[in-house]
Amino acid sequence: MLKTKQIENIFAALDGLRIEIPSWGFANTGTRFGKFLQAAAAVTIEDKFSDAGQVHALTGLCPTLALHVRWDLPSGLDSAPEVEALAARYGVRPGSINPNLFEDQIYKYGSLGNPDPDVRRAAVRHILESIEIGRRLASRDLSLWFADGSNYPGTQNIRRRRQWFQEGLEQAHAALSESQRMLVEYKPFEPAFYHTDIADWGMASLLAKAAGSKARVLVDTGHHYQSQNIEQIVAWLLDDGMLGGFHFNDRRYADDDLTLGSIDPYQVFRIFHEIRYFEWETGQRADIACMIDQSHNLKGKIEAMIQTVMMARELYARAAIVDHEKLAGSQARCELIDAENCLKEAFFADVAPAIREWTGVRGLPEDPLQAFRGSGYLERITAQRRERNQAAVSSYA
């Protein structure tokens, strides 16, 4: 049975939790080996806003939709009026802006790290356009992920490519408004399998610091080697003032983009704990953008998104009831079992009654997934979108 103070902490934590959902999580996506298309998948940007609006209405936690410039704003700034109208219609604001620096043929050998200066200039132009789109849509975060790297030893000048990256990011940073931020993501491998230009959190942090004061690191929980201590990375970046955001997902092997907590919910809990412990020690709220980045190739897309949000809600509620004062004392006295149990007791606590109470007070359904299944929305959009998705199946075949 939770104590009154713990319930109050859960209420306060959930009231402050915001989870951005990705537009591409509602569309047909897959792997390089193929994709299994779904009749209800989003086809248009309006479909994506509509689906995101459903998730937010049922969970109360997802007020923004991450947008991918090439996939969602193909006409660049000219697409902004349509996005603004859809945001107003479906009650979900534009979220982070994600440039596409990996699909065009010119990026075969990289974008900001490409040996061809014309390609590097084109990449910078696209980033600057994305910054302008973000300014127009009142979106704070520019989310940067690069596929740049090489597949064979000796084929690229690694040091020179780092210098080109620094130059490009500095140019981008100079274009940011006072209300905008730049988040630099990293990934150890894929599609580059010998070296990746921004392969880990240290490289991302160095480049972000060199770019300027409005640049931070974005941690994708799938972008690490096996057994990596991600919460230690989170703690270091928090302490250094460089943690800007997350792309939350789960993985069994590498960048598997699985629903949150489907493999290791305790890891996600530990990450949330490090954030809240930092806030307790410093007395300041960590300014971190929590975003989902998942590819639901087999699960129903909207249901999988709701499932992830529900899991994040539960794990964040558990992190909110860790006894920080007791934990700090046990750590200082090296009381190992007591300190570890501070986390385990919170992780295994039954927070469901408190969450149900919170949803009732906030006028939200007790079980968002069941509420969605009973709404008829899935059946309606399946009928509406089946023909369009069938056309995609035909073209894909």
- The CATH number given to whatever domain includes residue 83 is 3.20.20.150
Give me the half-sphere count of Cα atoms (radius 13 Å) on the Cβ side of residue 159.
0
Task: Give the CA distances from residue 119 to residues 3, 178, 189, 208, 233, in Å, rounded to whole numbers and listed in that order.
Answer: 59, 28, 22, 21, 33
pLDDT higher than threshold 70 for residue 144: yes
Q: CB–CB of 392/28 below 8 Å?
A: yes
Please report the pLDDT score of residue 397 as a whole number.
Answer: 47
d(C-alpha 92, C-alpha 98), whole Å: 17
Q: What is the pTM of this model?
A: 0.96
User: In the predicted model, what is the mean pLDDT of residues 314-339?
Assistant: 98
pLDDT higher than threshold 50 for residue 396: no
d(C-alpha 201, C-alpha 187), whole Å: 8
In a domain, 78, yes or no: yes
In a domain, 393, yes or no: no
pLDDT higher than threshold 70 for residue 327: yes
d(C-alpha 168, C-alpha 130), whole Å: 14
Q: Where are the alpha helices (DSSP H) in 137-211?
A: 158-175, 201-211
User: In the predicted model, what is the mean pLDDT of residues 47-59?
Assistant: 98
Please report the pLDDT score of residue 36 as a whole number.
Answer: 85
Please report the pLDDT score of residue 35 as a whole number.
Answer: 81
Kindly report, residue by residue over 73-128, the tens digit of the pLDDT: 999 999 999 999 999 999 999 999 999 999 999 999 999 999 999 999 999 999 99
Give me the domain span that covers residue 319.
4-388
User: 220: Cβ–Cβ under 8 A, 6 or more apart, which residues?
Assistant: 145, 185, 186, 187, 246, 247, 249, 255, 293
In a domain, 34, yes or no: yes
Q: How many domains does the chain have?
A: 1
In a domain, 396, yes or no: no
Please report the pLDDT score of residue 119 as a whole number.
Answer: 98
In a domain, 377, yes or no: yes
Reading the block at residue 159, the tokens are 């040091």
pLDDT, averaged across the chain: 96
Please report the pLDDT score of residue 393 as a whole number.
Answer: 57
When pLDDT is cut at 50, 70 and 90, the band that residue 34 belongs to is: confident
Kindly report, residue by residue over 226-251, the tens digit of the pLDDT: 999 999 999 999 999 999 999 999 99
Please report the pLDDT score of residue 60 as a whole number.
Answer: 98
User: In the predicted model, what is the mean pLDDT of residues 286-303?
Assistant: 94
pLDDT higher than threshold 70 for residue 320: yes
In a domain, 394, yes or no: no
In a domain, 20, yes or no: yes
Please report the pLDDT score of residue 392 as a whole number.
Answer: 64
Please report the pLDDT score of residue 394 as a whole number.
Answer: 54
pLDDT higher than threshold 60 for residue 279: yes
pLDDT higher than threshold 60 for residue 309: yes
Least confident of 269-278, 293-302, 303-312: 293-302
In a domain, 346, yes or no: yes
